[in-house]
């Protein structure tokens, strides 16, 4: 089994939802054939700490835009948005299917260094989605710094159910000044979880004058870099192979020796 996935590394128009959706529509339309398209964190606004004027509900325009694009292109579309729900704001990653159904993951670890914890509520559960026989763990930006949250859960009583997932996707607005951490942690998550890792970051300055170098990456289960792009906008499509993943896990069954734990 294989999985064809496209990364869109792009500049974002600061807090301009209409401009971002129009720009991203054009980019997605240019992709000839793929199964999953991954957009950066807060792709419709940039990483803004002003959720009140920018947030939408799950019936809002950007969510409807995702539904329409996914249905017409027959793809899964993934990226995070500012969502208002139950009187709270969430940095919510949406995994939009072509049939209009979706899964959601609310960012667990809020970036207190930038005040995200003052404006957004924390998620409390992981989302592991399924596509074409692959299990995909979805995360947002700062989550990458916390290895327990991304660690393969273990069940010694049922070893045939492990590992828990095959691909980790992280969508981000990760500044260039800490790009070494971004690149290193993406590789670390792949190595320690024996999985593919896809990290999609934005490029360019945001509304606070903070520069983002992108450095979007695809890492294989041995930690080797299959794709890396810095500083430039790019649309990159790659086919990931399940046989490669299974070979690594069979030849190097390190996952069998992992400590058992449960995430509550």
Tokens of 196: 């593919």
Share of the chain above pLDDT 70, in %: 97
25-39, 148-162, 221-235: least confidently modelled range? 148-162
Q: Is the peptide bond before 207 cis (omega within 30 degrees of 0)?
A: no
Q: Convert the pLDDT of each residue in 90-120 to its tens digit.
A: 999 999 999 999 999 999 999 999 999 999 9
Q: What is the mean pLDDT of residues 200-225?
A: 98
Do the beta carbons of residue 83 and residue 90 sit within 8 Å? Answer: yes
Choosing from 17, 67, 116, 141, the catalytic residue is 141
Q: Convert the pLDDT of each residue in 170-207 to its tens digit.
A: 999 999 999 999 999 999 999 999 999 999 999 999 99
Is the pLDDT at 161 greater than 70, yes or no?
A: no
> Residue 261 has what pLDDT?
76
Tokens of 258: 């992992």
Beta pairing partners, 95: 78, 103
Please say if 141 is a catalytic residue.
yes
Is the pLDDT at 159 greater than 80, yes or no?
A: no
Cα 110 to Cα 26, 89, 114, 121, 123: the distances in Å are: 31, 12, 9, 8, 9
Choosing from 15, 17, 67, 107, the catalytic residue is 107
Distance CA 153, CA 164 (A): 6
Angle between helices 61-73 and 17-29 (to 10 degrees): 10
> Residue 160 has what pLDDT?
59
Q: What is the mean pLDDT of residues 60-72?
A: 98
Distance CA 238, CA 7 (A): 9
Q: Convert the pLDDT of each residue in 73-92 to its tens digit.
A: 999 999 999 999 999 999 99
Q: How confident is the model at residue 13 (pLDDT cuts 50, 70, 90)?
A: very high
> Residue 260 has what pLDDT?
78
Domains of the chain: 2-255 (3.60.110.10)
Please say if 107 is a catalytic residue.
yes
The rounded mean pLDDT for the chain is 96
Do the beta carbons of residue 37 and residue 78 sit within 8 Å? Answer: yes
Question: b or e along 150-169 (b: 16 or more beta carbons within 10 Å of the residue's beta carbon)?
Answer: bbbbbeeeeeeebbbbbbbb
Q: What is the mean pLDDT of residues 243-252?
A: 96
Cα 204 to Cα 40, 117, 138: the distances in Å are: 12, 24, 24
pTM of the entire predicted model: 0.96
Q: How confident is the model at residue 137 (pLDDT cuts 50, 70, 90)?
A: very high
Residue 21, classed as helix, strand or coil, is helix
Distance CA 123, CA 106 (A): 4
Distance CA 109, CA 170 (A): 13
Is the pLDDT at 157 greater than 70, yes or no?
A: no
Q: What is the mean pLDDT of residues 15-20?
A: 98
The distance of Cα 63 from the centroid of its chain, to the nearest Å, equals: 16
Residue that the structure tokens 């903070």 belong to: 210
């Amino acid at each position: 089994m294989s999985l064809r996935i496209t990364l869109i590394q792009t500049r974002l128009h600061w807090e301009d939802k209409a401009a971002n959706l129009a720009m991203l529509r054009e980019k997605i339309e240019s992709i000839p054939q793929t199964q999953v398209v991954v957009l950066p964190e807060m792709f419709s606004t940039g990483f803004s700490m002003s959720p009140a004027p920018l947030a939408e509900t799950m019936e809002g325009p950007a969510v409807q835009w995702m539904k329409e694009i996914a249905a017409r292109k027959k793809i899964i579309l993934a990226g995070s948005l500012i969502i208002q729900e139950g009187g709270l704001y969430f940095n919510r990653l949406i995994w939009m299917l072509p049939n209009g159904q979706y899964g959601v993951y609310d960012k667990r670890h809020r970036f207190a260094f930038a005040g995200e914890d003052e404006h957004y509520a924390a998620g409390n559960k992981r989302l592991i989605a399924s596509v074409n026989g692959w299990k995909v763990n979805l995360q947002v930006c700062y989550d990458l710094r916390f290895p327990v949250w991304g660690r393969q859960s273990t069940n010694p009583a049922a070893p045939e159910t492990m590992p828990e997932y095959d691909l980790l996707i992280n969508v981000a607005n990760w500044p260039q000044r800490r790009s070494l951490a971004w690149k290193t942690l993406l590789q670390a998550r792949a190595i320690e979880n024996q999985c593919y890792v896809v990290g999609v970051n934005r490029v360019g300055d945001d509304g606070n004058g903070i520069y983002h170098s992108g450095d979007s990456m695809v890492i294989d289960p041995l930690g080797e870099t299959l794709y890396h792009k810095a500083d430039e906008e790019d649309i990159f499509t790659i086919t990931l192979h399940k046989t490669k993943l299974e070979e690594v896990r069979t030849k190097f069954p390190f996952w069998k020796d992992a400590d058992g734990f449960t995430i509550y």
